[in-house]
Structure 1
Amino acid sequence: MATETTTVGKFVVNKQLALCYAIGTSATVFLVGILLGFFERPRRLRMLDIARENEIFLIANGFRDTGGTNVTHYDGKGNALRFIEKSGDRLIFLVAGKRGKRAVIQLAPDGLMIAYAGFGKVRTGFPVISGHRWNAPLQ
């Protein structure tokens, strides 16, 4: 069987060898994609589950998103909240119109929302929530 060659500019190209390289490269890329997808899928599915559970958490606690900049959310009791920051394992909101008041959503290490602390006055870095002074940061 004779090999077919073609001249491309200064180069002589073996058509059968070029076809083998093309098929081999395509197969390699396909297999790498399958393997990466196989190993990343559980993490991606867990992230989707966490997002779904967080949405359920917010609905259960009556949170509504306003889309605004001054007041970003309302909680279940109608308090106007402004998102300030995500600090470690909590989301911190400023209660609009109330000086020194913060509302806190506690997060698990994987980002799952696990508790809403309502709001309280901030003293020495620890919030007073529902009349109880915390002796340590939320955990």
Structure 2
Amino acid sequence: MKSKSKRSGLSGAAATVGKTAVAGYGLSMGHDLWKATKKGKDGISIILVVVGSLVLPVLGGRELVRGHDRGFAGTIFKTILGSVLLTAVGFALTWFAFFILIGILAGSSDDNGTANIFASWQAVLWLATWVTGTMWCIGLLWGAIQRPSRLKRIGLHRANERFLETQGFRTTDGDDITHFDPHGQPLRFIEAHSDRLVFMAVGKRGKRGYINLDAEGRMVSYSGVV
């Protein structure tokens, strides 16, 4: 039976081989994609990798700070871990995209001097980190700009939910009857205006019910069926 140290050594060796293999695959893929491009074939793989490498870190940064209506578990798994996952995948795509770029540079020229500048995976790792970090910061800025309006909207939503609960409104899953008002009158939601929500009183011809709104969209009163 192999000792723990030997198993650890094999794991380390496998990890090193894995890094080398990924780098080699990226270079090879770059060569192949360059040949495909020269033959007029679709370069969609390059586009997807590049777009993903730029967009995912931005989304990761944005989702981390833009504000969400989530509980403790949702904050941990969706907001924090979800943002970390988006950024990590974006970083991996960026790292891979640089190796594809090396392959394209090498495949498009007989002079490999330009490609040799990026020959070490450490240099590519640094470049990928810089690009991912920059895009992540852009996402943070985007999320910070959105945060005040989103938190305000979330606050209004919570306040309106409290209003409906306090007033005794009940929501149904139907289309003909969408709500019951505090007196048990079945209502059908019709339309929304800037100052009120309009309901039709089911079973009472020409009768309506209104939930009045303030200037920010907060529910303030119910008219009853009139």
**Which residue of the partner structure matches residue 21 of structure 2?**
none
* Residue identity matched to 1:15: F
The answer to whether 1:37 aligns with 2:143 is yes
The answer to whether 1:109 aligns with 2:215 is yes
Q: Among residues 169, 193, 197, which one is paired with 1:91 in the alignment?
A: 197
Q: Deviations over 1:95-133 (max 9, x none)?
A: 00001100001112322111111111xxxxxxxxxxxxx
More helix by share: 2
- The answer to which of 33-42 and 64-73 deviates more is 33-42
SS at match of 2:145: helix
* Residue identity matched to 1:60: T
SS at match of 1:110: coil
Given that 2:194 and 2:217 are in contact with CA atoms closer than 8 Å, whether structure 1 keeps it comes out as no
Q: Deviations over 1:10-30 (max 9, x none)?
A: 254231775554333212211
The answer to whether 1:56 aligns with 2:162 is yes
**Which residue of the partner structure matches residue 10 of structure 1?**
108
Offset of residue 49 of structure 1: 1.1
Q: Distance in 1 between matches of 2:192 and 2:156?
A: 17
**Larger RCO (CA within 8 A; separation ≥ 6):** 2
Q: Distance in 2 between matches of 1:22 and 1:30?
A: 12
Structure-to-structure mapping, 1:73-84, within 5 angstroms: 73-84=179-190
Give unmatched runs, 5+ long, in structure 1.
121-139
Aligned-residue identity in percent: 40
SS at match of 1:8: helix
Offset of residue 53 of structure 1: 0.7
More strand by share: 1
* Residue identity matched to 1:9: G
Offset of residue 67 of structure 1: 1.1
Offset of residue 88 of structure 1: 2.5
**Which residue of the partner structure matches residue 46 of structure 1?**
152
SS at match of 1:78: coil
Counting matched residue pairs gives 116
TM-score of the pair, normalised by structure 2:
0.47
TM-score of the pair, normalised by structure 1:
0.73
Q: Deviations over 1:3-45 (max 9, x none)?
A: xx87632254231775554333212211111112222222211
